[in-house]
């Protein structure tokens, strides 16, 4: 980290670990639930930031101190773990990155990137200045092909565009690991490797999916899409239809579909299935509800249909998922206990 950046971070109230190129900024609130921003400055051209935003009100701080500066080609890879984050372009139009999604922002020069804001949001962001990162971080030489893959001609034709896709299991795993490493304050060399792995994984997901950049929506369209999203998220046990929303807002069903897809990157029914299956998985992991009770909680009155939908989404039956979750939890606990004992022995 350069001295200027250190001074700006310190003046904003951040705790600085100069030797590890790490900064942590806590944003207190009257509610007692604090937001926290943790950043590793791996080089002048590569930063890793954990945005753990908990409150609608965020104090006025210079968020630009976390930005990679300079001219050239930039990649910002974001992986959302909790909540949703709104992106705004220069015209004030918005779209959203939601829990379980990843996004790639590819732009020329720092002034062309999209700004974002959030109320309750946990996200990992890896920012790279593509032309300089290899030179500054020799550790990344082996990953040159990965970065090149994220800079394919198909992406270059859509400069200053945002690409969104549902995160695959591998990307979710890497995201969780990177959040834990940053929270634990591990050595920056390990963060470099893990951050590069995340960027590579997101780039691979985007390339393999052959998606198109998402379209920004105006404020009225965004409000409708947000309201639909809230209905689907908070009332997943209900049966929502495109026809219902078309009547509610006095617009065509085609407009309902387009508004929602432009903001959230998928159809209304597809998103409802995703919400239901994610909630069902959480219930199976965290409660002792039966499969029948779980199905009912997420809007399925037929266990067979719930089972079929769950297998399609998660690749296994509900009982198998619950067993695997218990095994994973036990293994994770054993690993944490082992690491704790090792530290105590030292």
Domains of the chain: 3-209 (2.60.120.280), 219-325 (1.10.10.60)
Query: What does residue 242 show for φ and ψ, rounded to 5 degrees?
Result: -65, -35
Q: What digits encode the pLDDT tens for the residues 177-198?
A: 888 888 888 887 888 888 878 7
DSSP string, 179-209: HHHHHHT--HHHHHHHHHHHHHHHHHHHHHH
Please compute, for residue 256, the number of CA atoms within 13 A of its CA located in the half-sphere on the CB side.
Answer: 19
Element (H, E) at 96: strand 94-98
Q: Which residue has the tokens 């085609």?
A: 254
The whole-number mean pLDDT for each consecutive block of 10 residues of the chain, a chain of 346 residues, reads 64 80 79 79 81 66 59 75 71 69 68 56 81 64 49 37 68 85 83 79 68 63 87 89 93 90 80 90 91 94 93 91 87 74 65
Q: Read off the pTM.
A: 0.57
- What pLDDT does 151 receive? 45
Give pLDDT, residue 142. 45
How many Å apart are CA 15 and CA 23, to the nearest integer?
Answer: 6
Provide the pLDDT for residue 157.
32
Q: What is the pLDDT of residues 206-220, one digit of tens each?
A: 666 655 555 556 778
pLDDT at 31: 65
- pLDDT number for residue 163: 63
Contacts of 121 (CB under 8 A, 6+ apart): 51, 52, 53, 80, 82, 83, 84, 85
Per-residue model confidence (pLDDT) at position 21: 81
């Amino acid at each position: 980290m350069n001295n200027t950046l250190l001074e700006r971070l310190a003046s904003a109230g951040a705790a600085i670990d100069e030797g590890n190129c790490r900064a942590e900024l806590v944003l207190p609130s009257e509610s007692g639930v604090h937001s926290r921003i943790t950043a590793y400055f791996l080089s002048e051209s590569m930063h890793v930031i954990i945005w753990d935003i908990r409150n609608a009100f965020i104090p006025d701080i210079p968020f630009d101190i976390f930005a990679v500066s300079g001219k050239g080609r930039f990649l910002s890879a974001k992986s959302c773990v909790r909540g949703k984050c709104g992106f705004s372009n220069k015209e004030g139009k918005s779209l959203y990155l939601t829990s379980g999604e990843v996004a790639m922002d590819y732009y020329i020069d720092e002034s062309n990137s999209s700004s974002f804001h959030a109320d309750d949001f946990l996200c990992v962001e890896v920012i790279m200045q593509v032309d300089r990162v290899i030179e500054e971080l020799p550790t990344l030489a082996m990953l040159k092909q990965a970065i090149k893959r994220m800079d394919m001609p198909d992406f270059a034709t859509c400069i200053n565009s945002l690409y969104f896709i549902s995160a695959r299991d591998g990307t979710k795993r890497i995201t969780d690991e990177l959040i834990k490493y940053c929270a634990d304050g591990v050595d920056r060399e390990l963060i470099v490797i893990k951050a590069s792995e995340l960027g590579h994984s997101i780039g691979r997901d985007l390339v393999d999916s052959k998606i198109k950049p998402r379209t920004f929506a105006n404020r009225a369209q965004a409000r409708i899409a947000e309201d639909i999203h809230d209905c689907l998220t908070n009332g997943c046990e209900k049966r929502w239809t495109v026809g219902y929303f078309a009547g509610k807002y006095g617009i065509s069903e085609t407009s309902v579909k387009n508004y929602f897809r432009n903001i959230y990157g998928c159809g209304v029914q597809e998103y409802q299935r995703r919400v239901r299956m994610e909630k069902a998985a959480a219930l199976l992991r965290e409660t002792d509800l039966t499969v029948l009770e779980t199905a009912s909680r997420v809007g399925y009155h037929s266990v067979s249909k719930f089972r079929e939908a769950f297998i399609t989404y998660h690749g296994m039956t509900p009982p198998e998922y619950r067993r695997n979750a218990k095994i994973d939890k036990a293994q994770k606990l054993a690993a944490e206990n082992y690491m704790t004992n090792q530290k105590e022995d030292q």
